[in-house]
Amino acid sequence: MRVTRCIASILWTMAIGALVCVAASTSALAARTDRALERAANGRPQMVDVIVQTPDRPTFEDRTLVGAFGGEAGLPFSSINGFPARVPSPALKGLANNPRFSSLSLDAPMKSFWDRNAVRPPVGAPEAFATYGATGAGVGVAVVDSGVANHEDFSNGVNSSIRGFVDFVGDTDKKLIDPYGHGTHVAGILAGHGSAVDRFSGIAPGSSLYILRVLDGNGRGTVSNVLRALDWIRHNAAAHNIRIVNLSLGHPVFEPYNSDPLCKAVEDLVRRGIVVVAAAGNYGLCDGAECYGGITVPGNSPYAITVGAMNPRGTASRVDDVMARFSSRGPTFVDGIVKPDIVANGVFSVSMTSPGSYFETRYGELEVSSTEYDASVGSGDYFLLSGTSMAAPVVSGIAAMMLQKNPSLTPNLVKAILMYTAEDRGYDIMTQGAGYVNAPGAVEVAESITTNPTSVGDGEYWLTSPLSGSSTIDGQGVLWTGRLLFTTSILTSSSQNPIVGYNFEELWGQGVLWNYMQTVYSYEFDDLDIESSAVYWTGGVSSFSVLWTSWQTQSASDLIYSEGYRWDGKKNR
């Protein structure tokens, strides 16, 4: 009997050996690839563009190994340990099984976030200039987008805001070109001078723009294009004082932020002292109904300042402003992070256009006629666009104002100040984040804060002057929220399941409690032909009010990226 059992065992081993290999391969595939590549590996054979990540710096042998699987490998990135490659989809399982490759991610198509939908963004930029002289002077801002046109409003008559242009698309050797038109509009919102029409001036006209072109004439690009641009910023930031990166683009979430290559590159820049501002995405509506869970990459990164869109309803006043229904809401898919961080004007945004661009030739109805602003410039010089793409540069411009007044601010402190001085508009935090951005308030705090820990003792105030707690925009009072959003520990609960804790190493150090409806459904992300998932969120967030007026001596493990500031909800402990 024992011999019979042994023989049977051997026969079964021989019979199912291949199945064991398949199971191991499938397990590695799920563990080391994102959701999109997992589908591609099990679909029809095709060539797939991927980002291959390695445990340490990739070697020549790593890239040669991709060739052994029938693929082609590109040059390594510097912001992450990895390189781009094009591989046959059947080879994905083999690559995922190789210990030299820690993860594989789709080199996803990037998309700008605009929509067809003329007012100056009612966030208080004129008041910030009048009171504090804030224009963003001397602060470098990288705009990673579709390029830029040589519009007269980028010049103040002496100097141009545009200080550099690098093309990562590679289909032209011309300078200052934007065949799509999106990048010009974004850059104009951020740093237009208003030379032709004063009321169309940008938020921070004194800032210096570095335009990195990653989207082609149809608004298409890839993650690897953006990674190359972020690599350039990494290597050139110090030489040009680039303190801010604006990313008015993104793609659906396929994997956790801590393995996503674009999110990892964003984290790298933030840790190097560079503020990264990202659009939340325009996926707030599902079949015409408001839905949650539509935040895109890299807005899902806790290191980015993720911006949703407000609708000013065509007026200069903030009183009647409401949330734009298209603006993506949190929580982030996969990780469940509270997003967006803040909201800004993103509807009926007037800015420059690029002559002969995709927008100008296809959407002539979006042109702002010169008769509407009594100027000699042509009617095609300005366009009306809506989207979180338009909201992000508003926040980037305010960040430039803050860094002009206090260059010692770290990215996390910029984020905290923007949150603390925002205006609560009564929406849940998965919709509005901390609230509606407030330029004069943010600049006030930036100018009033000291970041030098040797200047104050334990328990002493580290503000150089008292804070007002409110601002005036267009003659109306704006109260600050006086709070930050914490997303380190997220607790989810439902009627069917007990509370389950998910611990993340993220930006802030407290917990958020929210109710999670277990209904999940799929929908298409426009023309990307990629399925993602959205969750209905039922509210119930508990956040914390924070008075951050004192300095606390902490161990290195308690610091926020070694900044030394602890947000503990107490005043002068």
pLDDT computed for residue 402 by the predictor = 96
Res. 398 pLDDT band, cuts 50 70 90: very high
Asked if residue 413 and residue 348 are part of one domain, the reply reads yes
Arithmetic mean of pLDDT, 506-514: 30
Res. 369 pLDDT band, cuts 50 70 90: low
Catalytic residue among 224, 248, 351, 389: 389
Helices 388-405 & 411-420 angle (0-180, nearest 10) = 110
CA dist 140 and 159 (Å) reads 14
Q: Would residue 185 show up in a list of annotated catalytic residues for this protein?
A: no
Catalytic residue among 103, 107, 151, 182: 182
pLDDT at 242 over 90: yes
pLDDT computed for residue 101 by the predictor = 92
Domain count within the chain: 2
Amino acid identity of residue 496, one-letter, is: Q
Asked if residue 64 and residue 135 are part of one domain, the reply reads no
Domain assignment present for residue 339? The answer is: yes
Q: What is the mean pLDDT of the chain?
A: 76
- The neighbour count for residue 249, using CB atoms within 10 Å, is 30
Domain assignment present for residue 457? The answer is: no
pLDDT computed for residue 379 by the predictor = 39
Instruction: Please say whether the beta carbons of 230 and 265 come within 8 A.
Output: yes
Domain assignment present for residue 492? The answer is: no
Domain assignment present for residue 242? The answer is: yes
pTM of the model: 0.76
Domain assignment present for residue 280? The answer is: yes
407-441 tens-digit pLDDT: 999 998 899 999 999 999 999 989 999 999 999 99
pLDDT computed for residue 466 by the predictor = 82
Res. 535 pLDDT band, cuts 50 70 90: very low
Catalytic residue among 34, 145, 216, 381: 145
Asked if residue 417 and residue 290 are part of one domain, the reply reads yes
Domain-terminating residue out of 48, 72, 107: 107
Domain-terminating residue out of 107, 136, 169: 107
Asked if residue 200 and residue 291 are part of one domain, the reply reads yes
CA dist 441 and 447 (Å) reads 10
CA dist 196 and 187 (Å) reads 16
CA dist 135 and 204 (Å) reads 5
Domain-terminating residue out of 389, 420, 448: 448
List the one residue out of 301, 179, 176, 293 whose CA is nearest residue 230.
301
DSSP 80: S
Res. 520 pLDDT band, cuts 50 70 90: very low
Instruction: Please say whether the beta carbons of 489 and 510 come within 8 A.
Output: yes
pLDDT computed for residue 255 by the predictor = 92
Asked if residue 274 and residue 391 are part of one domain, the reply reads yes
Q: Would residue 145 show up in a list of annotated catalytic residues for this protein?
A: yes
CA dist 552 and 95 (Å) reads 48
- The neighbour count for residue 129, using CB atoms within 10 Å, is 21
Amino acid identity of residue 18, one-letter, is: A
Give the best-scoring range by mean pLDDT among 154-168, 337-351, 466-480, 529-543. 337-351
Residue 254's domain comprises 111-448
Instruction: Please say whether the beta carbons of 339 and 300 come within 8 A.
Output: yes
The kind and range of the H/E element at 166 are strand 162-167
Asked if residue 254 and residue 188 are part of one domain, the reply reads yes
CA dist 205 and 220 (Å) reads 28
Domain of 381: which CATH number? 3.40.50.200
Domain of 49: which CATH number? 3.30.70.80
pLDDT at 519 over 90: no
Asked if residue 89 and residue 64 are part of one domain, the reply reads yes
More confident position, 226 or 524: 226
Res. 493 pLDDT band, cuts 50 70 90: very low
Domain assignment present for residue 536? The answer is: no
Q: Would residue 458 show up in a list of annotated catalytic residues for this protein?
A: no
